[in-house]
Amino acid sequence: QVTLRESGPALVKPTQTLTLTCTFSGFSLSTSGMCVSWIRQPPGKALEWLALIDWDDDKYYSTSLKTRLIISKDTSKNQVVLTLTNMAPVDTATYYCARGDYNSNLMGDYWGPGTLVTVSS
């Protein structure tokens, strides 16, 4: 059974760095074809794709946020970590992680429940 769960602070101050962890089970990021994405959704707004890391440690980033984002993985812990620097109120959103499987040509077949991050002083 595939599950993902996001964890991290619910509240961060402006200019701080946000670190979120996606802990997953039911698959391995050392398996060829597997990947994990981060997506966010401001309250009442649309989904925004942020970043992806794959089994081969290739990393892809949102064009508008790439100078502020870092994605990494710890295969032994089944975790993917997203770092977003210089947080601002506009970064207030629910942050999701989701699995992808290039072998089956699937993206986002499993999602975590999301974690709401509020940016406020």
Partner 1 sequence: EIVLTQSPGTLSLSPGERASLSCRASRSVSSSFLAWFQQKPGQAPRLLISSTSNRAAGIPDRFSGGGSGTDFTLTIRKLEPEDFAVYYCQQYGSSPYSFGQGTKLEI
Give contact residues for partner 1 (rule: CB under 8 A): 37, 39, 46-49, 52, 60-63, 96, 98, 100, 105-109, 111-114
Beta-sheet pairing, 11-12 with 115-119 = parallel
Query: Least Å distance between CB 94 and partner 1?
Result: 9
Nearest to partner 1 of 81, 98 (CB atom): 98
Query: Least Å distance between CB 121 and partner 1?
Result: 27
Nearest to partner 1 of 62, 85 (CB atom): 62
Query: Least Å distance between CB 15 and partner 1?
Result: 25
Nearest to partner 1 of 16, 111 (CB atom): 111
* Integer angstrom CA distances of residue 36 from 8, 76, 77, 78, 88: 17, 15, 14, 11, 25
Token pair 């401001």 is found at 42
Distance of CA 109 to the CA centre of its chain: 15
Distance between CA atoms of residues 52 and 46, nearest Å: 18
Query: Least Å distance between CB 111 and partner 1?
Result: 4
Nearest to partner 1 of 70, 107 (CB atom): 107
**Contact between residue 108 and residue 96 where contact means Cβ atoms under 8 Å apart:** no
